Amino acid sequence: MTTGIPAPATGAGPRRLAWQRRRRSAVRFWAEYRTHRAGLVGLAALTLFALVALTAPLTVGSDVAGATDAPGQPMESPSGEFPLGTDRFGRDLLGLLVWGSRVSLLVGLLAAVLSVAIGALVGVTAGHFKGWYATVLMRVTDWFLVMPTLVLAIALATVLSRSLGTVILAIGVTSWPTTARLVRAQTLAVESRPYIERAKALGGGHGHIMSRHVLPNVMPLVLAQATLMVSSAILAEATLAFLGLGDPTVVSWGGLLQEAREAGAVSSGDWWYLVPPGIAIAAVALAFTLCGRAVESVLNPRLGVDR
């Protein structure tokens, strides 16, 4: 992606040239991305969710999660005062939904970053170093790939203490193998290009080649993968919270659903308690998926526009 046209270098240092080239490819990327309507919808939805989550301390504040002196009666249906009704403690569900977006998005993003970082590290090193190291690493990757991810994450979350860190760790260390395989394939393709041989001939070591030549070339792929990974991480967070393995002290969308089920919202038919958190989860996950697919098809034109 960094194969820009060499600009006429009149007194510009190599660093400045590199920045110019990066800016140009970013502009080209955006022009290309704009043609994907689904990607734009996803991006707009994400911006909206990010705004809601970031402004939550101003709009609802952390008081909304306090069970003592809640503003309403327990389990009120939606009304003018509480647009989405109240929960079993009489807390405002709309406020909880807004407040919960912070945890769901944070855990989703961090878990995705952790997972993609592990995947990129494994993928780049397995592609760069050949021999037994790569063989062992890829066997481990394949093993993780077929393992039921959720079962492994549940096992981890069960034996560790209940906290957000545990949830992030449990999701991150179980979901990296897809990224590792993709990155390794890309690394192998990059390493067969002549400029890697040139770098080696000029005395570039393993670290230099991996960080300066391979990594920038696999970075676009890693970004696309990270975007897609966020949506599955958010779903995984909701699942763990629903199973009672999340941090019980914070409000998250999955946690709201678990509370709704425990409060008997299902058997009493209180659909307004259950519907909003689920829609929020699905909307964020879908938005990240749409963005990820758009980024993927921009970066990999072989996939075609209508994939």
Q: How far is the CB of 140 from other proteins (least distance, A)?
A: 8
Q: 45 or 121: whose CB is closer to other proteins? A: 45
Q: 123 or 217: whose CB is closer to other proteins? A: 123
Q: How far is the CB of 282 from other proteins (least distance, A)?
A: 5
Question: Hunting for tokens 């769901």 — which residue is that?
Answer: 104
Q: How far is the CB of 158 from other proteins (least distance, A)?
A: 5
Which residues form the interface with other proteins (CB under 8 A)?
139, 142-143, 145-152, 154-156, 158-160, 231, 235, 238-239, 242-245, 254, 257, 260-261, 266-269, 271, 274-275, 277-278, 281-283, 285-286, 289-290, 303-304, 306-307
Q: 18 or 282: whose CB is closer to other proteins? A: 282
- For residue 92, the cross-strand partners are 86
Q: How far is the CB of 25 from other proteins (least distance, A)?
A: 26
Residue type, 22: R
Q: 217 or 239: whose CB is closer to other proteins? A: 239
Residue 301 · residue 43 · CB < 8 Å:
no
Q: How far apart are CA 247 and CA 167, in angstroms?
A: 8
Residue 48 · residue 286 · CB < 8 Å:
no
Q: How far is the CB of 278 from other proteins (least distance, A)?
A: 4
Characterize 188-213 residue by residue with b for buried, 16 or more Cβ atoms within 10 angstroms of its Cβ, and e for exposed.
Answer: bebbeeeebeeeeeeeeeeeebbeeb
Q: 161 or 192: whose CB is closer to other proteins? A: 161
- For residue 86, the cross-strand partners are 92
Q: How far is the CB of 256 from other proteins (least distance, A)?
A: 11
Q: Give the distance from CA 278 to its chain's centroid.
A: 18
Q: 62 or 268: whose CB is closer to other proteins? A: 268
Nearest Cα to Cα of residue 215 among 114, 116, 111: 116
Nearest Cα to Cα of residue 159 among 52, 57, 245: 245
Question: Sign of dihedral through CA atoms 233, 239, 245, 248?
Answer: positive
